[in-house]
Amino acid sequence: MDFILAGAICIILLLILMSIGLQIGLAFLLSGFVVSFMLLGFDSSISLLGQASYFSIATPTWAAIPLFILMGAFASNGGLAQRAYDGVHALAHRLPGSLMIATCFSCGVFGAISGSSIATTAIFGRMALPEMNRLGYDKSLTIGVIASAGTFASMIPPSIMMIIYALFTQQSIGKLFAAGILPGVITALAYAVLIVIMVKRNPSLAPEMDKRLRAQISKRREVGRMWPVLMIAFVVLGGLYSGVFTPTEAAAAGALVSLFFAWYLKAFTKYSDVTSAMRDAANITAMLFLINVGALFYSRVLAVTGLPTELTTMLQDSTLPPLAILIGIMVIFFLLGMIMVPVGIYALTLPVVLPILTSLGYDPIWFGVIALKLTEIGAITPPVGLNVFAIKGAVPKDMHISLEQVYKGCMPFLACDVVVLILLVAFPAISLWLPGILMN
- If one counts the domains in the chain, the total is 1
Q: What angle do CA 211, 216, 218 make, to 5 degrees?
A: 120
Residue 316 has a pLDDT of 66
The pLDDT score that the predictor gives to residue 384 is 62
Give the span between the Cα atoms of 211 and 438, in whole angstroms: 44
Residue 408 lies in a domain: yes
Position 263 in a domain = yes
pTM score: 0.77
Residue 358 lies in a domain: yes
Return the pLDDT at 426.
92
Q: Are 296 and 62 in contact (CB under 8 A)?
A: no
**Burial class, 134, CB count within 10 angstroms (exposed 0-12 / middle 13-18 / buried 19+):** exposed
Confidence (pLDDT) at 214: 53
Q: Is 136 part of any domain?
A: yes
- One-letter-per-residue 3-state SS of the chain: CCHHHHHHHHHHHHHHHHHCCCCHHHHHHHHHHHHHHHHHCHHHHHHHHHHHHHHCCCCHHHHHHHHHHHHHHHHHHCCHHHHHHHHHHHHHCCCCCHHHHHHHHHHHHHHHHHCCHHHHHHHHHHHCHHHHHHCCCCHHHHHHHHHHHCCHHHHCCCCHHHHHHHHHHCCCHHHHHHHHHHHHHHHHHHHHHHHHHHHHHCHHHCCCCCHHHHHHCCHHHHHHCCHHHHHHHHHHHHHHHCCCCCHHHHHHHHHHHHHHHHHHCCCCCCHHHHHHHHHHHHHHHHHHHHHHHHHHHHHHHHHHHCHHHHHHHHHHHCCCCHHHHHHHHHHHHHHHHCCCCHHHHHHHHHHHHHHHHHHCCCCHHHHHHHHHHHHHHHCCCCCCCHHHHHHHHHCCHHHCCCHHHHHHHHHHHHHHHHHHHHHHHHCCHHHHHHHHHHCC
**Number of neighbouring beta carbons within 10 Å of residue 55:** 11
CB 117 within 8 A of CB 153: yes
Give the sign of the dihedral formed by CA 128, CA 129, CA 132, CA 135. Answer: negative
- In 3D space, the residue among 103, 107, 108 whose CA is nearest the CA of residue 89 turns out to be 103
Say if CB 375 and CB 154 are below 8 A apart. Answer: yes
Q: What span, in angstroms and rounded, lies between the C-alpha atoms of 75 and 267?
A: 10
> What is the domain extent for residue 128?
62-269+306-438
Q: Within a domain: residue 24? A: no
Question: CA–CA separation, 201 vs 194, rounded Å?
Answer: 11
pLDDT in tens, the chain (440 residues): 677 788 788 878 887 887 787 777 788 888 888 888 888 888 888 888 888 777 666 777 777 878 888 887 888 788 887 787 777 777 777 788 888 888 888 877 777 666 667 667 777 777 777 778 777 888 888 888 888 888 877 788 777 788 888 888 888 888 898 898 899 889 989 999 999 999 888 888 877 754 545 545 556 677 777 888 888 888 888 888 787 888 888 888 988 998 999 898 888 888 888 898 898 888 877 877 777 788 778 877 877 887 766 766 776 677 788 888 888 888 888 877 776 667 777 877 887 788 888 888 899 999 999 998 988 888 788 766 667 777 776 676 666 777 788 888 889 999 999 999 999 999 999 999 988 887 66
Whether 89 is covered by a domain: the verdict is yes
pLDDT at position 350, please?
A: 83
Structural domain includes residue 176: yes
Distance of CA 30 to CAs 14, 57, 298, Å? 8, 19, 9
**Residue 31 falls within a domain, yes or no?**
no
